[in-house]
Amino acid sequence: MMRIAVVDYGMGNLRSVARALNRVAPEAEVEVTDCPERLHAAHRIVFPGQGALPDCMRRLHERHLLGVVRELAQTRPFLGICLGLQVLFEHSEEGEVAGLGLLTGKVRRFPADRFGPQGERLKVPHMGWNEVHATREHFLWRGLAPDSRFYFVHSYYVQELDETECAATTTYGFPFTSAVIRDNLCAVQFHPEKSASAGLTLLSNFVHWAP
């Protein structure tokens, strides 16, 4: 039986993610856990997140999960969600904290002086439905219409990343990276578990992806 572990570091909508995974993979065992042994026993890892990156890094440290997550992100099919994307990078302006450093790039706050196509000032956080434009072909996008809409809630975005690892962009005043993929590792800035049928399709693709 396939085992999917949702990393429990005391933050994020862990149960919602687990329920969505159970829906798209009823044949799998989905477990929310912070146990290193259970995480190592899983075939796939999902790292969801909501909240602030400094709190995320602190809680990973308190639960002795920093090394575990770094290792699994390099050895298992791994999906980061929202904060689970930002934590993969080197540094964040949010609290001026270092991330896991698995991907090159920095996390910056959306500037206040951004305007939409009608001249309206755009609010921070970026919250609500927006289009995700895939920039490369990948199994993760299988069955999704071009520029499918997903649900976002975030005030920070990734900058100065390796462009070869960018897998999708979204426009909110300017284009920003909304998905990254490298080898066994993928991460999205949006919340697939809150994104109706498109989100369930993406989660199903991750479950059946063979990197």
Q: How far apart are CA 178 and CA 80, in angstroms?
A: 11
Q: Is 82 a catalytic residue?
A: yes
Active site residue 186: no
Question: What is the full DSSP assignment across 149-161?
Answer: EEEEEESEEEES-
Whole-angstrom distance, CA of residue 53 vs CA of residue 83: 7
Of the residues 56, 82, 166, 186, which is catalytic? 82
Three-state DSSP class for residue 127: strand
Q: Tell which residue, 163, 162, 159, 166, has the closest CA to residue 134.
A: 166
Residue whose entry in the numeric block shows the structure tokens 């309206």: 120
**Which among 94, 154, 166, 191 is annotated as catalytic?**
191
- 191 counts as catalytic: yes
* Annotated catalytic residue within 56, 94, 166, 193: 193
Closest by alpha carbon to 178, among 100, 126, 111, 124?
126
CA-wise closest residue to 203 among 153, 150, 157: 150
Active site members: 82, 191, 193
